[in-house]
């Protein structure tokens, strides 16, 4: 294990985090908030520590093993450092809670321990949302886009940090691919900010909500999430949530005006089909609660978009909806968005491959001599991908089961326990019952919060990097 390269790159991550805190300090200065000084101090301290790490430890060469450790350990270190302004300023006086909030931000989960979001200073709210924006596309992808990183195999970093069973380069060079991804990401974020501003939303809210939408994170700046905003702003936010849940490779094809290739994606067609079907079904179910089909469609579309993309914004207390609507939303928690998007969950492509594997096994059981490969979008799925998908499903449900058992020691009801784990492991944010859209995670014990923090990190990093980090024997081989 080449620890020098690992520490060097983590040092670079801390330097970038320090610069981001500098932006929050400027927000504090603009609003005249003394708590902004903690971001200024954090910028100096964290950047200095990162620079020292980078100076003492040369980068060297890194491979797949190092890639796993860089991503998992780097995200943990960044979260622990990112929690300091919350804690030191006293805005979140418990460090475990501050870490929970920060990890929830970077992993784009949006689960919160805050009972009064509006009680935070503007610079603190901006930091919460900014962690979503950086975590959505990935801090290492950002580094690959803006910094010269040589001596290693950069694709290993992108593969580990990017969601989905496979990661493709859009152009031959990884750094150019990262720049293209962030260019699309940035352009869409700016577009949403402008449209929301034209819809009458306050500029600060436009920026923070757009950061949360882009990263599919869901941290709001109001206690009722998005319920207070106009219907226009809610619909715009819902549309952008859906767009950020689309595979960015497809968005790249759209940007290149290759609509035929973009629309040929089975994953994207299924993704939009699920959204349409779920929206109509839920709207019919809740129509009586909202006095007509138009309002019901708006509420259903927003919540379906929010849950399937694992954003976590809300405009209504869907915990009070009929059982059929709640069950649909619960299933969407697991489906998630498309691969290579900013959304969480299992991913539509992984589910499609899993279904094809099951169909093939049934066919093989009936016709033992049949040899049949799996194809997606006309291309053969490699055996390595099949194996990783199967392993992902097994590991996913093992972690889910163990986590549900561990958090049950707090004595909450079954619905709270299961959906709190589903909401964190799938990086969604709200669940049902005690952790519903009108609730939060404040009452969980420190032990349960640690379990849920692990789930958030594991879900964002596609499970395996966190397991490799926990079991050193795996990365010594």
Mean per-residue pLDDT, 112-134: 96
Whole-number pLDDT of residue 361? 86
Contact (CB, 8 A) for 466 and 424: no
- How far apart CA 98 and CA 120 sit, in angstroms, is 12
Which carries the bigger pLDDT value, residue 462 or residue 299?
Answer: 299
Locate tokens 């991550």: which residue?
Answer: 13
First-last CA distance in the chain: 9
Judge whether 459 and 344 are in contact, CB under 8 Å.
yes
The pLDDT mean for the chain works out to 90
Q: How confident is the model at residue 301 (pLDDT cuts 50, 70, 90)?
A: very high
Give the other-Cβ count within 10 Å of 347's Cβ: 26
Q: In which residue are the tokens 């889910």 written?
A: 400
Report whether pLDDT(150) > 60. Answer: no
pLDDT of res. 27: 97
pLDDT for res 160: 63
Per-residue pLDDT, 19:
93
Q: What is the mean pLDDT of residues 48-77?
A: 86
Mean pLDDT, residues 307-319: 94
d(CA 376, CA 187): 29
Using one digit for the tens of pLDDT, what is the confidence trace for 389-430? 999 999 999 999 999 999 999 999 999 999 999 999 999 999
What pLDDT is attached to residue 262? 87
Max CA separation in the chain (angstroms): 74
Contact 176, 197 (CB under 8 A): no
Written as six digits, the tokens of 38 are 């903690």
Query: Alpha-carbon distance 107 to 7, whole Å?
Result: 21
Across 112-126, average pLDDT: 96
pLDDT tens digits, 326-382: 999 999 999 999 988 888 899 999 999 999 999 888 888 887 777 677 888 888 888
Query: What is the structure's pLDDT at 174?
Result: 72
Would you tell me the crossing angle of helices 154-161 and 139-146 to the nearest 10 degrees?
150
Instruction: Answer yes or no: is pLDDT of 117 > 60.
Output: yes
In the prediction, which pLDDT does 61 show? Answer: 72
User: Per-residue pLDDT for 164 more than 70?
Assistant: no
In which band, very low, low, confident or very high, does the pLDDT at 179 lie, cut at 50, 70 and 90? confident
The Cα–Cα gap between 215 and 423 comes to: 16
**Confidence at residue 162, expressed as pLDDT on a 0 to 100 scale:** 65
Name the least confident of 57-61, 113-117, 233-237, 333-337.
57-61
Q: How far apart are CA 140 and CA 13, in angstroms?
A: 7
- In 138-214, alpha helices (H): 139-146, 154-161, 174-198, 203-214
| pLDDT interval class at 153 (50, 70, 90) | low
- pLDDT at site 261: 85
| Out of 7-21, 114-128, 143-157, 295-309, least confident range | 143-157
- Torsion sign, CA atoms 319, 215, 454, 92: negative
pLDDT range class, residue 60, cuts 50, 70, 90: confident
Partner residues linked to 70 by β-bridges: none
CA–CA distance, 439 with 225 (Å, rounded to integer): 11
**What percent of the residues of the chain are helix, what percent strand, and what percent coil, each to the nearest 5?**
70, 0, 30
Half-sphere CA count of 202, side-chain side, radius 13 A: 9
Q: CB atoms < 10 A from the CB of 189, how many?
A: 20
Quick check: 169 pLDDT over 60? no
pTM of the model: 0.93
Q: Residues of the chain with pLDDT > 70: what percent? A: 92
């Amino acid at each position: 294990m080449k620890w020098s390269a690992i520490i060097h790159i983590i040092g670079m991550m801390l330097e970038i985090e320090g610069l981001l805190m500098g932006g929050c300090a400027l927000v504090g200065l603009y609003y005249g908030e003394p708590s902004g000084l903690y971001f200024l101090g954090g910028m100096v301290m964290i950047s200095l520590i990162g620079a020292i790490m980078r100076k003492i430890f040369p980068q060297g060469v890194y491979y797949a093993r190092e890639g796993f450790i860089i991503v998992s350990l780097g995200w943990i270190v960044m979260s622990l450092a990112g929690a300091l302004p919350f804690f030191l300023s006293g805005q979140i006086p418990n460090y475990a809670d501050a870490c929970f909030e920060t990890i929830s931000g970077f992993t784009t989960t949006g689960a919160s321990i805050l009972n009064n979001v509006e009680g935070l200073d503007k610079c603190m709210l901006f930091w919460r949302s900014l962690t979503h924006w950086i975590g959505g596309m990935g801090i290492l992808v950002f580094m690959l886009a803006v910094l010269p990183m040589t001596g290693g195999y950069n694709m290993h970093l992108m593969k580990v940090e990017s969601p989905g069973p496979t990661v493709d380069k859009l152009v031959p060079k990884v750094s150019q691919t990262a720049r293209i991804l962030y260019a699309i990401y940035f352009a869409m974020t700016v577009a949403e900010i402008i449209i929301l501003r034209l819809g009458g939303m306050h500029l600060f809210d436009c920026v923070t909500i757009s950061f949360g939408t882009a990263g599919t994170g869901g941290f709001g700046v109001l206690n009722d999430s998005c319920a207070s905003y106009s219907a226009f702003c809610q619909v715009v936010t819902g549309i952008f949530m859906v767009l950020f849940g689309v595979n960015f490779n497809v968005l790249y094809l759209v940007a290149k005006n290759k609509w035929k290739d973009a629309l040929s994606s089975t994953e994207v067609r299924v993704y939009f089909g699920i959204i349409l079907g779920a929206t109509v079904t839920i709207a019919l179910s809740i129509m009586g609660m909202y006095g007509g089909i138009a309002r019901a469609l708006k509420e259903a579309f927003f919540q379906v978009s929010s849950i399937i993309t694992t954003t976590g914004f809300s405009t209504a207390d869907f915990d009070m909806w009929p059982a059929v609507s709640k069950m649909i939303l619960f299933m969407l928690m697991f489906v998630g968005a498309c691969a290579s998007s900013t959304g969480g969950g299992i991913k539509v492509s992984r589910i499609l491959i899993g279904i094809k594997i099951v169909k093939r096994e049934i066919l093989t059981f009936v016709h033992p001599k049949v040899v049949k490969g799996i194809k997606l979008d006309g291309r053969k799925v490699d055996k390595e991908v099949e194996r990783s998908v199967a392993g992902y499903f097994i590991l996913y449900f093992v972690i889910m089961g163990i986590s549900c058992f561990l958090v049950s020691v707090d004595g909450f009801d079954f619905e709270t326990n299961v959906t709190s784990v589903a909401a964190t492991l799938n990086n969604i944010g709200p669940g049902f019952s005690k952790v519903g859209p009108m609730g939060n995670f404040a009452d969980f014990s420190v032990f349960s919060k640690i379990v849920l923090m692990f789930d958030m990190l594991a879900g964002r990093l596609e499970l395996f990097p966190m397991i490799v980090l926990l079991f050193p024997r795996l990365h010594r081989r």
